[in-house]
Amino acid sequence: MNILLKSVTIVNGNTKHLHLRKRDILIKNGIIDAIESAIEPSGKTKVIDIKNLHVSIGWFDSGVNFGEPGYEERETIENGLLTAAKSGFTDVVLNTSSHPTPDSASDIVYLKNASKNQLTNLYPLGNLTVKGEGEVLAEIYDMKNAGALGFYDYKAPMGNANLLKIALQYAQNFEGMVFSFPLDKSISGKGIVNEGITSTKLGLKGIPTLAEELQIARDLFVLEYTGGKLFIPTVSSANSVKLIADAKKKGLQVFCSVAVHNLTITDSELENFDTQFKVMPPLRTSADIKALQKAVKNGTIDLVTTDHTPLNIELKHVEFDNADFGTIGLESAFGTLNDIFGVEETIGILTKGRSIFGLDEPEIETGKAANLTLFTTEDTFEFSDEHIYSSSKNAIALGKTMKGKVIGSIRNNQIILNK
């Protein structure tokens, strides 16, 4: 397959001689063949010529959820990867939220086989403990050899500090990444939203930021004792950022992410009891958002994730107390971030992080495999059902103003464009 991108603006801070330059890019059989001021198509070539078209290396998401296996009605792996490709993501890390959860090498092999021949590459995580129950360490070495990028009991806090210690010590033998969800359940109790003015006003049980910060403080003490690599997913408070920043200054190998919605939406949105806004960790305050955005800019927060979580309608269209936590986010990530950070910073956010997991970084250079995302930057629109590609429609971004549109993705000698 030959593809010619006409007059595209290249956004790639790592390639200074091409950054923000308009070029034609010719791709032959999945390889970038030429980057020139002007290239004329020849033979059977698919020409893409769109006003305000931009290109960057393909985007990376460190934490998505699909339903398969077990919850295919929410999202299959095939449609989840198609959704990712249409949303600009050419590499995604899959959380351990399926049923059964992946806690053996054969489970990891199944997930990798189920994702073959897709444009977007899928990298599965494996459970840290058997069945994600936090009691017995899973076969993490075998899963690493089978292709697991790290080990995570998805959104299940590790209550046993000694087990976390053992996991960090053991994983060092093979450069394994240990995930620990930041929540102390003895503090959070039955809370479902941020503890504060809004929770008090609405009569909803609150989760104080203390529940997150205590767990992070404990985990960082364990990490300082053991060494190893610790990943803290989806932090949400200003004090969490301070704790992690101090740990990084000590030289600890600690990494963290934040969900897009925790960067943009406050708990004041809960006043209509709309279950689309019920997420974990909960939406916090404007002060937390300000601190989180600053931490993304200065690098304290390593990654921004969509935390894409498809849920079928009956899990959301119930009373607020009974609704499940989670929102889809792949489709709205670019438009949301672009509105906050601007184009260059947004692309930096969406393309960083592969090296943390030992994955190769794509390049926009002749002779390199084409791993590209296509997008525009000037379109402004209201996010609605028509912009959702997921099987599930539980989108926190519905009704929000987006800036910039994803046109599609190119990878693995495939191209997927949005109509």
Q: How far is CA 419 from CA 6, 331, 387, in A?
A: 18, 14, 11
Pairing relationship of beta strands 372-382 and 54-57 according to DSSP bridges: antiparallel
Pairing relationship of beta strands 414-417 and 401-411 according to DSSP bridges: antiparallel
Question: Which residues are registered as beta bridge partners of 60?
Answer: 91
CA dist., res. 247 & res. 227, Å (int): 12
- Which SS3 state, helix, strand or coil, does residue 365 take? coil
- Torsion angle of the four alpha carbons 388, 394, 400, 405, in this order, in degrees rounded to the nearest 10: -20
Dihedral sign, CA of 76, 81, 82, 87? positive
Backbone angles phi and psi of 85, in degrees to 5: -60, -45
CB atoms within 10 A of CB 134: 18
Pairing relationship of beta strands 89-94 and 121-124 according to DSSP bridges: parallel
Catalytic site residue from 267, 288, 307, 360: 307
CA dist., res. 240 & res. 255, Å (int): 12
**Cα–Cα–Cα angle for 322, 325, 331, nearest 5°?**
135
Contact 277, 204 (CB under 8 A): no
- Which SS3 state, helix, strand or coil, does residue 126 take? strand
339 is catalytic: no
Dihedral sign, CA of 12, 15, 16, 21? negative
User: Which residues have a catalytic role annotated?
Assistant: 307
